[in-house]
């Protein structure tokens, strides 16, 4: 630097720049974490990630739309490392929008010890998730089953009439997850297919 004056103004400027960039840095770090609740709120409002409500909803009293039928399919998946089975009474039902329906699911613990699990739902297409109202669902809470125990649990749901007309099929997937990861840990390494040798 040529003179003392310039040196000090240069240093002032550097200090100012550094302070400002640090503020931006802190802001962006906070923003990354803020995106988590923002994402949830965004998805809840738009139903974009196919998540349904986590608590019971009221039945919307409206006339049943008998002019069209929607196919509702059920898929159940057990989790790796959890000796449970989840079955559904029927693979698919045809329903009218507005009508309330009940489907029975069966949980079975094939293991010898008691364990806890939770069925996590997902709806496809995701646009349908805001139109799917669950009046009662086993997925609202964890299930605990003794070794060999069997449990029948109902799902009561309604597809509201404002379901877009182009949706003809709604698929509901329930995936079982162990509740205490330590107790029923998912194996840390996935099995590997080794071509012909396996």
Partner 1 sequence: MASHLPPKPTPQHSTATAGGMAEAGHARPGGLMRWLLTTNHKEIGSLYLIFSLTMFFIGGIFALVVRAELFQPGLQLVQPEFFNQMTTMHGLIMVFGAIMPAFVGLANWMVPLQIGAPDMALPRLNNFSFWLLPVAFTLLLSTLLMPGGGPNFGWTFYAPLSTTYAPPSTTFFILSLHIAGISSILGAINIIATILNLRAPGMRMMDMPLFVWTWLITAFLLIAVMPVLAGVITMMLMDINFGTSFFNAAGGGDPVLFQHLFWFFGHPEVYIMILPAFGIVSAIIPTFSRKRLFGYASMVYATAAIAILSFLVWAHHMFVVGLPLVAELFFMYTTMLIAVPTGVKVFNWVATMFRGSISFEPPMLFALAFVVQFTVGGFSGLMLAISPADFQYHDTYFVVAHFHYVLVPGALFAILAGAYYWLPKWTGHYPHLRLSQWHFWLSVIGVNLTFFPMHFSGLAGMPRRIPDYALQFADFNVASSLGAFLFGVSQLLFVLVIIKCVRGGEKAPAKAWEGAEDLEWSVPSPAPLHTFETPPDFHPHRQH
Q: Which stretches of the chain bind partner 1, using CB under 8 A?
A: 1-2, 10, 13-14, 17-18, 21-22, 24-26, 28-29, 31-33, 35-36, 39-40, 43, 46, 48-51, 54, 79, 118, 120, 122, 124, 126-127, 175, 177-179, 181, 186, 188-190, 192-195
Closer residue to partner 1 in complex, CB, 101/126? 126
Q: What is the largest CA-CA distance in the chain?
A: 87
Q: Is 70 exposed, middle or buried (0-12, 13-18, 19+ CB in 10 A)?
A: buried
| CB 74 within 8 Å of CB 154 | no
- The span from the CA of 120 to the CA of 176, in Å, is 6
Closer residue to partner 1 in complex, CB, 55/67? 55
Closer residue to partner 1 in complex, CB, 98/121? 121
Q: How far is the CB of 67 from partner 1 (least distance, A)?
A: 25
Instruction: Quickly tell me which residue has 């997925």 as its tokens.
Output: 139
Closer residue to partner 1 in complex, CB, 122/136? 122
CA distances 112 to 115, 148, 149, 178, Å, are: 9, 6, 9, 15
Q: Which residues contact 10 (CB under 8 A, 6 or more apart)?
A: 1
Total length of the chain: 198
Cα–chain center distance at 31: 23
Q: How far is the CB of 169 from partner 1 (least distance, A)?
A: 15
Q: How far is the CB of 79 from partner 1 (least distance, A)?
A: 8
Q: How far is the CB of 149 from partner 1 (least distance, A)?
A: 21
Q: How far is the CB of 160 from partner 1 (least distance, A)?
A: 19
């Amino acid at each position: 630097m040529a003179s003392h004056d310039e040196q000090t103004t240069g240093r002032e400027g550097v200090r100012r720049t550094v302070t400002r960039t640090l503020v931006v840095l802190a802001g962006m770090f906070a923003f990354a974490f803020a995106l988590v609740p923002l994402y949830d709120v965004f998805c809840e409002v738009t139903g974009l990630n196919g998540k349904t409500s986590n608590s019971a909803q009221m039945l919307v009293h409206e006339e049943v739309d008998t002019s069209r039928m929607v196919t509702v399919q059920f898929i159940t998946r057990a989790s790796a490392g959890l000796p449970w089975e989840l079955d559904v009474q029927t693979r698919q039902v045809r329903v009218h929008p507005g009508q309330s329906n009940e489907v029975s699911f069966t949980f079975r613990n094939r293991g010898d010890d008691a364990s806890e699990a939770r069925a996590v739902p997902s709806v496809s297409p995701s646009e349908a998730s805001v139109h799917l109202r669950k009046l009662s669902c086993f997925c609202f809470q964890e299930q605990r089953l003794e070794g060999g125990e069997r449990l029948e649990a109902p799902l009561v749901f309604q597809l509201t009439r404002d379901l877009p007309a182009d949706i003809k099929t709604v698929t509901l997937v329930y995936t079982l997850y162990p509740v205490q990861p330590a107790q029923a840990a998912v194996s840390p390494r996935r099995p590997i297919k080794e071509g012909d040798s396996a």
